[in-house]
Structure 1
């Protein structure tokens, strides 16, 4: 289907990514449960599960939205989405089931619909065609819709029930819980005692058991080869792409580093910064001068911010929801700025629906 979709859009350049994952079977969960209202039917077969959930979209009834408009409401647990057409609702349901129906014929990336596959190709167009820039992280995109989709990833809507981590999507929250709060490692190496939490990590590990180099450098007459893709990428950045300039700058003392993890060590040891609860690492934001500095503000949706405020009020720390923001600081993860100080910070804090 991906090949047919690509051939139908000759104006889009083919995918240029690595082909190592092409035709790989995707990682699937062991069981599936439909979370449509009053359903909760369990399935052991992915296709039966996808077809069952799709039937909810086919049978959903329109409801009034205002005087003239009618919409289809998603009945999935904790979802408030509404769609104007049955087709859109069925596509939306794939965001809950993680069903993928189109695959890139080159790299093997899998997508919920043709539009997302086309976006995958557009993201790879030359940078001079990327005219739309994110005001938060300075990344550029080929279309305005890609920029809008990207900016949603800066706003967190879902809070982890086990810590203070907040995530932009249900899928990222599930991944966070699996990696930060679960000790289960179901993927085991057949050659040694290694085990891991997902299939991607297992495949990377299996490369280390190979005696023959799996990857080789594509630059000119370079004969470098390695048994892992990350080693090849690191080689290309260091040797061929000149990525040795120190671009990571400490916002406290202005010291520069060539790698983000070196700056992370510096911030933790020299300035005693700590990760907020649930966060696996610091995040860095590119500034106008080309340097990447620590991202200090965490972006929450209005609804999630109000939820966090209520939780803090229950703990005896009342906050002004109109002007409060969450900021990463030393020694204590997140702290709140309120009142006039918080109001001054509003210009750089995104509190959107």
Structure 2
């Protein structure tokens, strides 16, 4: 299971979930060929029936609901279901081999929801640029570059394998390391949760996904920043890295821990583009998850049922069922939010937000959509006034302030020159605290 090549030889049951089809294939080649026939018949039927929305393609995979106006996007999406099905089989086999792990407890309704795919599967290896519609063939193709790369001399006696990907100068000491490194370029995942469908870069991350769902009594390691608890110290260290911001938005004051979170921030805060449109009404949104949640509201069949005994409440959206749980089953009237200035308590976070803005004139920097609240030892949630930033980002921000003629004093932001966290990767992180109510600094 550790090597991708060996996984291809493992016997799996690849079940088609297109419409009412129950076909099962033992090999990916057969499975993808079977799926090609579904695509051919689907496109033929669309032409013959002269469908009213013939320029729209709707995925018929069970519990998916994806649709697009781009035929190539549609083909890539459908073939990715084949690849996702294989990864879920790997996840099932991995779970069966770990008797100390409990199965995933998350919502099974997401098991066939696959991520938004890149515009095209294009190999960027030097002088290659082959393109594919099927993720399986794309990942296999890129892997052949790792298998056929030739060693180069580095130094007196060292021999290394150079990555030939565009703009990459990484070298690896072994062929296995190079093949693993190439996944960072292709964003390939190698295993998926058979219950919720989540995809992971290796088995360890999949096992972590399961361990995070153990009972709270087993979560002995607590984050000092956000109070979340974890089953192992390594999970806590991995989590703490996500609190350290490394990237600043070029359009506002927002800082983020990852390039992906920065891209997401720019898309949601600085772009008006809403490419995902509902086929039933005028609604449009910025990502596929929001669209699928909206589409639930058009369904005549309730998608969610209250799990509490003797409660017959049903809803067509996840937000509605969560609101019902808070109001009728979770003691929503108990105040849990407390103002750190005047100690006034509130039952909802948005009520405390209004209080802080109107009563105490608190504001957040441009780019931040809302306040964040942290749970304290007394059980109350108070305003989060701290964020962590890397040394490099701190130096960048200070240079920008110097260019703007800004002065760092007690009325703006102060730097606490002490490393955050205990792992080596955290030693470059510094803590920023707020000293002025007009400059509340929040985490991403």
Return the match for 1:140 from 219, 229, 233. Answer: 229
Matched, 1:269 2:269: no
State the partner residue of 2:406: 317
TM value normalised by structure 1: 0.81
Q: 2:102 aligns with which of 1, 13, 17?
A: 13
1:210 to 288, 291, 299: 299
CA distance in 2, matches of 1:310, 1:49: 43
Aligned counterpart, 1:345: none
1:180 aligns with 2:269: yes
Aligned length: 334
* Structure 1: tracts of 5 or more residues without a match: 336-348
Is the 8 Å Cα contact of residues 154 and 168 (structure 1) preserved in structure 2? yes
Residue matched to 1:256 = 345
The answer for the alignment partner of 1:23 in structure 2 is 112
Hey, what does 2:248 align to over in structure 1?
A: 159
CA distance in 2, matches of 1:30, 1:194: 23
Structure 1 range deviating more: 231-240 or 276-285: 231-240
Q: Distance in 1 between matches of 2:265 and 2:127?
A: 27
2:326 is matched with 237
CA–CA distance in structure 2, aligned partners of residues 139 and 169 of structure 1? 20
Give the match for residue 307 of structure 1: 396
1:100 is displaced (CA, Å) by 2.5
Q: How far apart are the structure 2 equivalents of 1:70 and 1:145?
A: 33
Distance 2:381 2:150 in 1: 48
Verify the 8 A CA contact 1:22 1:106 in the aligned structure 2: yes
- The residue that corresponds to 1:199 in the other structure is 288
Q: Unaligned regions of 5+ residues in structure 2, if any?
A: 1-89, 409-413, 418-429
* Range with greater deviation from structure 2 (121-130 or 315-324): 315-324
Aligned counterparts of 2:358 and 2:211: Cα–Cα separation in 1: 41
For residues 42 and 277 of structure 1, the distance between their equivalents in structure 2, rounded to whole angstroms, comes to: 42
Output the TM-score relative to the length of structure 2: 0.65
CA contact (8 A) 2:188 2:201 kept: yes
In the superposition, relative to structure 1, how do residues 39 and 275 fare at CA in structure 2: closer, same or farther (>3 Å)?
Answer: farther
Say yes or no: does 1:170 pair with 2:259.
yes
Q: Tell me how far apart the structure 1 counterparts of residues 376 and 150 of structure 2 sit (CA, whole Å).
A: 47
Larger radius of gyration: 2
The alpha-carbon deviation at position 97 of structure 1 amounts to: 3.9
Question: Residue 43 of structure 1 contacts residue 49 of structure 1 at CA under 8 Å; is this kept in 2?
Answer: yes
Q: Which residue of 2 aligns with 1:298?
A: 387
Aligned partner of residue 98 in structure 2, secondary structure: coil
